[in-house]
Structure 1
Amino acid sequence: MVRKRKQKTPITQSTLSGVKPLDSAKPKSTRTLIRRFHVLIKRRAALQKQKSKTGTETSSLRTELEEIDAEIESMGGLEAYQNMSAIGQGKDRGGGSETVLVGWMRELGMDQSGGKVRLLEVGALKHDNYGSCESWVACSPIDLRSRHPEIREQDFLKLDVGENEGKWDVVSLSLVVNFVPDSKDRGKMLSIAHDILRPPSPSVNGGLLFLVLPTPSHDILRPPSPSVNGGLLFLVLPTPCVANSRYMTPEHLVSVCARLGFTLIRDRCKSSGKVAYWLFTRSDKQATRASTDFTKKTVLREGSDRNNFSILL
């Protein structure tokens, strides 16, 4: 009698109990799936832009859109992408980017400020990334599709800026800007982050004015760090976005952020690394007008093997 071989469950598929087999995927398969998602979503956005520009939908365009949607669905949809990203944040894979941010905040003395740091985590895959710092960090995680009751379902591009203006001490955009297919929407994300971050405090006799920040229960006296005045933007991108792009370099990225009113205070950007990290403070000191037009793509590197990642304002 031939023994039937048990069919294996795909790594992107949920189990019957609802628990995702996160630990089963190998790093290579994880990276491959995430890269493929990015390619498909970028192509779909380009086709949809073409469709809206012409106002018509040819049969070939409709067919390609259907094929893209079918492939995304066959890969498990957004849930599968989130699963793979969560795997990449496991401690056995080097941990999540929050460890870098926490280290930098400690360097700036934010863990000794006397009050809780209000942190908005955009694209949160886990609800407790900052659980070890809950004594001094009040984290509000959001994502397009929530994986946990404590993660609020919210499109950051549709966030009510009026309600959030100047509200946050830290905004984390970790591996989310690169997931947005449109270059101008990427710039819009940075602009929104600027507007909802705490603005720089006014100076008094050359020093810093301590702010009393009201909370629902009590007032918190938070002396700003000597090296940080405004709120912080934590930005994380795959290294190829700045190391191998036609339109983006680390220096150009800093210039884009400077135009929006950010000042760089920390970075970790190695060409050999998989991801790059930046920490900006909202300074509201906008870069003086230069010859660079940040509303249009400018070729900064030549070569047929370059990617097309860019951020436009």
Structure 2
Amino acid sequence: MPKKKKTKLSYGRPPRFDVPKVSLSSKATRTIIRSHHNLKKAHAQALKTGNEDKAAEIEKQIEEQGGLRVYQEASKLGQSSTRGGDSSKILLQWLSEEGIQAKEVKYDMLEVGALSATNACSKCGLFNLTRIDLNSQEPLIEQQDFMERPLPTLQQDFFDIISLSLVLNYVPDAIGRGEMLKRTIRFLRPPVQSAKVFPALFFVLPAPCITNSRYMDATHLDAIIESLGYEKLKQRISAKLVYSLWRYTGRLPVNPRAFPKVEVSPGKGRNNFSVIIC
């Protein structure tokens, strides 16, 4: 019997699957998502240390819990409009506060890890949207790994804004997260001094990544993103998510600062989320 082909995962969201709709409570959804993330991190660590037996054991556990199929069901439910999960609504509110309105020439937006082609940003009339995901199941979402997307060479290939919503936290290792953040600036148009917002990065993380991590807090994350030439325009921290909007200034330090994995918030019961900039 031929072996079942494994789905390759890289940086960003996992592949999406069309599955029968089920009723899951918010608590059950969060539990599934949290468990899947923890197991994927443990799996990546086992592979990194060369412990193939442990990696196989964890992979089996992931499959026993429903694997990516169940994870995606929970993820789509958790981010559905009925549960207020469309993070782009926050972005549109902020842009409105900054006086950004629809115009004849739209802003170019790259949405990394797109789940839907019908979210608020898709309907607002502000953007020409390029949506990418690792394994898209919608015709308006291109199947592509952001880390393998060709770097732009022509003016029309650059973007005014990149959306990185609930994507960085799925990258299984800290160095990979740093590389993803560094890569964003290579797709943004050069900044104009008079511009209030663009070029920009819209960035969303689960709140525990900065409120309950040994290796990360809001100050440390701000320092990392600022080191890449961004300045923070907006931020909102809820019980579940951290939203932020950053303008790219293009001001890069002559001697870039490295951000190794360091403990910033000691204590029991904290998670190990971190970002490393080499």
TM-score class normalised by the smaller sequence: 0.7 to 0.9
Q: Residue 168 in 1 paired to residue 159 in 2?
A: yes
- Once the two structures are TM-superposed, the CA of residue 137 in structure 1 deviates from its matched residue by 1.5
**How many angstroms apart in 1 are the aligned matches of 2:255 and 2:266?**
26
Q: Residue 102 in 1 paired to residue 92 in 2?
A: yes
Aligned to 1:186: 177
- Once the two structures are TM-superposed, the CA of residue 308 in structure 1 deviates from its matched residue by 1.1
Of 44, 58, 62, the match for 1:72? 62
Matching of residues 115-264 of structure 1 within 5 Å: 115-129=105-119, 130-133=121-124, 135-163=125-153, 167-201=158-192, 203=193, 208=194, 224=195, 227-228=196-197, 230-264=198-232
Aligned to 2:72: 82
Which amino acid in 2 is paired with 1:192? R
Of 267, 283, 307, the match for 2:235? 267
Aligned to 1:284: 250
Which amino acid in 2 is paired with 1:156? F
- Once the two structures are TM-superposed, the CA of residue 311 in structure 1 deviates from its matched residue by 0.7
CA change 1:143–1:79 in 2 (3 A) is: farther
Given that 2:152 and 2:158 are in contact with CA atoms closer than 8 Å, whether structure 1 keeps it comes out as no
The secondary structure found in structure 2 opposite 1:127 is coil
Which amino acid in 1 is paired with 2:244? W
**How many angstroms apart in 1 are the aligned matches of 2:27 and 2:178?**
30
- Once the two structures are TM-superposed, the CA of residue 307 in structure 1 deviates from its matched residue by 1.2
CA RMSD of aligned residues (A): 2.3
- Once the two structures are TM-superposed, the CA of residue 127 in structure 1 deviates from its matched residue by 1.9
The secondary structure found in structure 1 opposite 2:123 is helix
Which amino acid in 2 is paired with 1:83? E
Given that 1:161 and 1:192 are in contact with CA atoms closer than 8 Å, whether structure 2 keeps it comes out as no
Bigger radius of gyration: 1
CA change 1:42–1:83 in 2 (3 A) is: same
CA distances 1:115-161 after superposition (whole Å, capped 9, x unpaired): 2121111111112213321x221222111121312211111122212
List runs of 5+ in structure 1 lacking aligned partners: 1-13, 52-60, 209-223
Given that 1:198 and 1:282 are in contact with CA atoms closer than 8 Å, whether structure 2 keeps it comes out as no
CA change 1:65–1:21 in 2 (3 A) is: same
CA distances 1:255-301 after superposition (whole Å, capped 9, x unpaired): 1011111111111124xx110111001102236869x741x112111
Which amino acid in 2 is paired with 1:197? L
Which amino acid in 1 is paired with 2:210? V
Aligned to 2:271: 307
CA distances 1:73-132 after superposition (whole Å, capped 9, x unpaired): 233332332221110122221231111111112222332444212111111111221332
RCO comparison, higher one (Cα < 8 Å, 6+): 2
The secondary structure found in structure 1 opposite 2:216 is coil
Aligned length: 260
Aligned to 2:8: none
Identity value in percent = 38
Which amino acid in 1 is paired with 2:169? N
Given that 1:258 and 1:287 are in contact with CA atoms closer than 8 Å, whether structure 2 keeps it comes out as no
Structure 1 runs of 4+ aligned residues shifted over 4 Å read 163-166, 287-290
Matching of residues 14-29 of structure 1 within 5 Å: 20-21=20-21, 24-29=23-28
Which amino acid in 2 is paired with 1:306? R
CA distances 1:153-182 after superposition (whole Å, capped 9, x unpaired): 111122212458870111111111011011
